[in-house]
């Protein structure tokens, strides 16, 4: 959970940037095929977050196609992409988004065989795949079972997925810039919008999934 509301006194400029950031997430939740539905978006600070876009699937799912994972990464990068598009600058507000997107992209490459360059080879353990970043043990109890060359390919593939997803987020937000502006204005006026209000304000509809792609079961 994100915690209770925080009574922060934000400037008009900060509130506007947060509105565009969350609006970027929300717009991509509508226009990226197969993205989880956007149930609410708010620019009311909660916990450590200055704004939140709430998305959840329509039903419980335990097997996820590659296209869905890509859609999630594109959506995660929507806040940064919106800030870049509107302001031409970057802020620290995308830290959590970048962390989550990088972790998901690395899972795709090292655990689920979704890199054509590396193939269907397990390159991270099933449990605690990011132990390396916390303990220096590489998640394998002391040493990585692959070469430095392979490590470089892993990093390159993760970067490729992130870069492609960021470019797609920018492209879609440029296409739907009018809806993004309208949604940001509505958030500044009302602070919180539910699903129907988001659809009414933007004039957009959810786009269903295009295909099933390669599927994986995400850990619960």
pLDDT digits (tens, 9 = 90+) for 92-142: 999 999 999 999 999 999 999 999 999 998 898 776 544 444 434 344 445
pLDDT of residue 193: 97
| 7 is a domain residue | no
**153 lies in which domain range?**
12-216
Cα separation of 63 and 107, whole Å?
A: 14
Cα separation of 147 and 97, whole Å?
A: 29
Least confident of 56-70, 132-146, 200-214: 132-146
Q: Which residue has the tokens 């039903």?
A: 59
* 89 C-beta neighbours (distance < 10 Å), count: 8
| 3 is a domain residue | no
* Pairing verdict, β 64-65 and 215-216: antiparallel
Q: What is the mean pLDDT of residues 169-194?
A: 97
Q: What is the pTM of this model?
A: 0.84
Domain count, the chain: 1
pLDDT of residue 214: 46
Q: Is 95 exposed, middle or buried (0-12, 13-18, 19+ CB in 10 A)?
A: exposed
| 70 is a domain residue | yes
pLDDT band at 6 (very low <50, low <70, confident <90, very high): low
- As a dihedral over the C-alpha atoms of residue 17, residue 21, residue 24, residue 29, rounded to 10 degrees, the angle is -150
Q: What is the pLDDT of residues 7-18, one digit of tens each?
A: 667 889 999 999
**Would you name the residues annotated as active-site residues?**
22
CB of 35 closer than 8 Å to CB of 29: yes
CATH number for the domain harbouring residue 28:
1.20.58.760
Mean pLDDT in the chain? 86
Per cent of the chain over pLDDT 90 is 69
| 4 is a domain residue | no
């Amino acid at each position: 959970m994100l915690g209770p509301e925080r009574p922060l006194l934000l400037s008009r400029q900060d509130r506007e940037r947060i509105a565009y950031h969350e609006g970027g997430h929300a717009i991509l939740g509508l226009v990226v095929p197969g993205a989880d539905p956007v149930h609410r978006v708010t620019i009311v600070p909660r916990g450590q977050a200055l704004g939140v876009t709430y998305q959840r699937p329509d039903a419980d799912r335990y097997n996820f196609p590659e296209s869905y994972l890509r859609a999630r990464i594109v959506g995660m990068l929507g806040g940064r992409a919106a800030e870049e598009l509107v302001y031409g600058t970057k802020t620290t507000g995308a830290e959590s988004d970048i962390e989550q997107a990088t972790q998901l992209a690395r899972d795709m490459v090292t655990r689920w065989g979704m890199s054509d360059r590396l193939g269907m080879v397990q390159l991270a353990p099933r449990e605690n795949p990011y132990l390396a970043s916390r303990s220096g043990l590489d998640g394998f109890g002391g040493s990585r079972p692959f070469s430095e060359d392979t490590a470089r390919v892993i990093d390159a593939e993760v970067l490729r997925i992130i870069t492609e997803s960021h470019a797609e987020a920018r492209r879609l937000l440029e296409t739907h810039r009018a809806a993004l502006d309208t949604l940001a204005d509505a958030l500044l006026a009302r602070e919180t919008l539910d699903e129907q209000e988001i659809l009414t304000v933007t004039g957009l509809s959810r786009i269903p999934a295009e295909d099933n792609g390669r599927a994986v079961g995400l850990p619960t």
